[in-house]
Structure 1
Amino acid sequence: MSLRICILETDVLRPELVEQYHGYGHMFQSLFARQPIAADFTVYNVMHGEYPADDEQFDAYLITGSKADSFGADPWIQTLKTYLLERYQRGDKLLGICFGHQLLALLLGGKTERAKQGWGVGIHEYQLAPTSPWMSPPVDKLTLLISHQDQVTALPEGATVVASSEFCPFAAYQINDQVLCFQGHPEFIHDYSRTLLETRQEALGDKVYAKGIASLEQDHHGTTVAEWMMRFVAGDSKAV
């Protein structure tokens, strides 16, 4: 039986990128199609006010990345926070990526802010906490494509660190078997990251831009993280 995942899309792509990449929801659907656990996905763009009907049931809710700040005052962000808090209090499983990772931390009692470290771009490497059952296949170190200037600087009560680095100490965390979040972008591919770097070259500065471009020579564990997330959602069910 397939898992049913609700993707809450929190951004729209630059117009010149839509034809090739469509949107973050589509990127996640492409990513999860490359991992072995059967899952069906429905995308709702919450920036446009799209949400599931009250009677729709999902095994988990995934919040995507966004150009917006998780601590922003935009009305759609406030609506999303209310919706996610209801889901959390109901016991639903929540997955957060980048903006979603930061928003859930903020919503559940942590802290998110503009990082003093500056922009994180390209491929980044993280140390992993001791392996949990859902972290299969195992890896020694985690690498992911990243693009962020905000970070989680304090975890919610009860959260445990899953991945960290000196640059980003709270790069991934979980709260029991209900919440799992990653700062990095498992759904990104090298070409999309290269395009983002090129569009932000002036804002990044030559040094950060050059280092980010050079890092794209490496591979990353996006598909592995996709499988981890589906195993986390499935738990002990027959889906795994």
Structure 2
Amino acid sequence: MPLRICILETDILRPNLLKQYQGYGRMFEQLLVQQPLAAEFQVYNVMQGDYPPEQERYDAYLVTGSKADSFGSDPWIATLKTFLLERYQNGDKLLGICFGHQLLALLLGGKSERAAQGWGIGTHCYRVAGQPSWMRPALDELTLLISHQDQVTALPDNATVLASSAFCPNAAYYIGDQVLCFQGHPEFIHDYTRALLEVLRDSVGEQRYQQGVASLHQAQQGSTVAHWMMRFVAQNRAVELS
């Protein structure tokens, strides 16, 4: 039986990017379908109030990135937090990326806020701490594409740091075999990041923009993170881990 992954899309792409890239849900489908473990995906845009039917159950719920602040007071964010807390209390597996990473940390007792370090853009390298059984292939360092001005500044008490850097100390974490989150974007590709940098140029400032563009010569390991995520979801299930 293939894994069933529910993708909770928390944004709508900017008009100049929408036609080519469609949405974060679609980006994740394109990334995860390439992994060795078979899976089926269903995308729900929760920003627009779209949720899975109550009777539907999935092997994992993945919360995407967003332009919104995880600590914001938008009604749709409050609804999403209620939904995720119910899933967590039900024992369901939860995956978070960028906004999702921050929202789940906040929901489960940590803290997310505007980062004093400012914008993180381009590619970024992290030190990897520990090697859980699902983290294969194992790495000592991880490079991902990023775009964020908020960070998790305090983790939930029961969370374990998985990746960190001086710029982003809580770049990835997990909680037992139930929650796995990354600040970076495994679903991003260099062309999308480059186009996003152009959109954000005035917001991030010329120096950060130039640094971000210059960093795009580095390879990124989003596919490796996708493989970790799928193995994380599959653990304790009767499937053969690749």
Unaligned runs of 5+ in 1: none
Instruction: Give CA deviations for 1:25-72 in whole Å, capped at 9, x if unaligned.
Output: 000000112221111100000011110111111000000000000000
Is 1:10 aligned to residue 14 of structure 2?
Answer: no
Is 1:73 aligned to residue 97 of structure 2?
Answer: no
Measure the CA separation in 1 of the matches of 2:34 and 2:188. Answer: 13
Measure the CA separation in 2 of the matches of 1:222 and 1:127. Answer: 15
Is 1:190 aligned to residue 190 of structure 2?
Answer: yes
Q: Aligned letter for 1:174?
A: Y
Measure the CA separation in 2 of the matches of 1:32 and 1:177. Answer: 19
Q: State the superposition RMSD in angstroms.
A: 0.7
For the Cα contact (< 8 Å) 2:129–2:140, is it kept in 1? no
For the Cα contact (< 8 Å) 1:2–1:239, is it kept in 2? no
Tell me the SS of whatever aligns to 1:200: helix
Q: How does 1:191-206 map to 2 (within 5 A)?
A: 191-206=191-206
**2:133 aligned residue:** 133
Q: Aligned letter for 1:115?
A: A
For the Cα contact (< 8 Å) 2:135–2:228, is it kept in 1? yes
Instruction: Give CA deviations for 1:57-93 in whole Å, capped at 9, x if unaligned.
Output: 1000000000000000000000000000000000000
Measure the CA separation in 1 of the matches of 2:101 and 2:240. Answer: 25
Instruction: Give CA deviations for 1:6-40 in whole Å, capped at 9, x if unaligned.
Output: 00000000112111000000000001122211111
Q: Aligned letter for 2:8?
A: L
% same residue: 69
Shift of 1:204: 1.1
Shift of 1:140: 2.4
**2:161 aligned residue:** 161
Is 1:175 aligned to residue 181 of structure 2?
Answer: no
**1:116 aligned residue:** 116
| The 10-residue stretch of structure 1 (48-57 or 115-124) with the greater mean CA deviation from structure 2 | 48-57
**2:41 aligned residue:** 41
- How many residues matched? 240
Q: Aligned letter for 2:38?
A: A
Q: Aligned letter for 2:15?
A: P
Measure the CA separation in 2 of the matches of 1:187 and 1:239. Answer: 24
**2:105 aligned residue:** 105
Q: Aligned letter for 2:234?
A: A
Measure the CA separation in 1 of the matches of 2:83 and 2:236. Answer: 27
**2:62 aligned residue:** 62
For the Cα contact (< 8 Å) 2:109–2:156, is it kept in 1? yes
Is 1:150 aligned to residue 136 of structure 2?
Answer: no
Measure the CA separation in 2 of the matches of 1:147 and 1:95. Answer: 18
| The 10-residue stretch of structure 1 (195-204 or 226-235) with the greater mean CA deviation from structure 2 | 195-204
Measure the CA separation in 2 of the matches of 1:219 and 1:34. Answer: 18
For the Cα contact (< 8 Å) 1:38–1:239, is it kept in 2? no
Instruction: Give CA deviations for 1:107-155 in whole Å, capped at 9, x if unaligned.
Output: 0000000000000000000000111111111222100000000000000
Shift of 1:205: 1.2
Measure the CA separation in 2 of the matches of 1:24 and 1:73. Answer: 22
Measure the CA separation in 2 of the matches of 1:11 and 1:239. Answer: 34
Shift of 1:239: 4.1
Measure the CA separation in 2 of the matches of 1:160 and 1:178. Answer: 12
Q: TM-score, with normalisation over the residues of structure 1?
A: 0.99
Moved over 2 A (4+): none
Measure the CA separation in 2 of the matches of 1:30 and 1:81. Answer: 26
